[in-house]
């Protein structure tokens, strides 16, 4: 099980840290390796973008600035990965927490806590690392 955190920078490209992962799975998709991840990977994707980097800042949303994460999600799904939680799309221009905190609480944790005896708040922590911390 994996949660991929992918930042999109200028020109819809992944940030340096996510680049090799995004390119690897996109390459497998282009090689027509459909089903490669079937019964192998359960995943979710957190997309982080910044509408301040876009030319048309007035009418854009988080969906418009997260192309790298969206591409990874599409590739993983096509390759047979099982999405365990709906993709989170965050916009750094308004604050990542605006999307991430509700997604974590309302989408991610419930998808991980399918056992009826599991407490409502799991004991595992959700770690977000910035590029400078990695």
In the predicted model, is pLDDT for residue 122 greater than 50? no
Q: What is the pLDDT of residues 64-94, one digit of tens each?
A: 789 999 999 999 999 999 999 999 999 998 8
Q: List domains and CATH numbers for the chain.
A: 2-133 (3.40.50.360)
User: How far are the Cα atoms of 72, 76, 84 from residue 27, in angstroms, in the given order?
Assistant: 11, 11, 23
In the predicted model, is pLDDT for residue 126 greater than 60? no
Show Cβ contacts of residue 84 under 8 Å, excluding neighbours closer than 6 positions.
1, 42, 43, 44, 111, 112
In the predicted model, is pLDDT for residue 4 greater than 50? yes
In the predicted model, is pLDDT for residue 55 greater than 90? no
Q: What is the pLDDT of residue 118?
A: 39
Tokens of residue 79, six digits: 């390759």
- Give me the DSSP letters along 14-73: BPTTTHHHHHHHHHHHHTT-TTTTTTT-EEEEEEEE-GGGSS--SS--GGGG-HHHHHHH
In the predicted model, is pLDDT for residue 60 greater than 70? no
Q: What is the pLDDT of residue 86?
A: 95
- pLDDT: is 115 or 41 the higher one? 41
In the predicted model, is pLDDT for residue 119 greater than 80? no
Mean pLDDT of the chain: 83
- Which of the residue ranges 45-59, 74-88, 103-117 has the most confident prediction, judged by mean pLDDT? 74-88
Q: Whole-prediction pTM value?
A: 0.79
* H or E element in which residue 100 lies: helix 97-103
Tokens of residue 22, six digits: 């995004």
Is residue 22 within 8 Å of 68, Cβ to Cβ? yes
């Amino acid at each position: 099980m994996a949660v991929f955190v992918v930042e999109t920078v200028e020109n819809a490209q992944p940030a340096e840290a996510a680049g090799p992962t995004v390119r690897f799975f996109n390459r497998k998709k282009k090689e027509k390796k459909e089903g490669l991840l079937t019964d192998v990977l359960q995943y979710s994707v957190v997309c982080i973008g910044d509408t301040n980097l876009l030319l048309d800042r007035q009418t854009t949303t988080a969906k418009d600035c997260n192309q790298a994460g969206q591409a990874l999600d599409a590739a993983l799904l096509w390759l047979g990965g099982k999405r365990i939680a709906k993709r989170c799309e965050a916009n750094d221009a308004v604050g990542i927490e605006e999307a991430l905190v509700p997604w974590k609480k309302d989408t991610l944790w419930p998808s991980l806590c399918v056992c009826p005896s599991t407490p409502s708040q799991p004991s595992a922590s959700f770690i977000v690392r910035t590029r400078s911390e990695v």
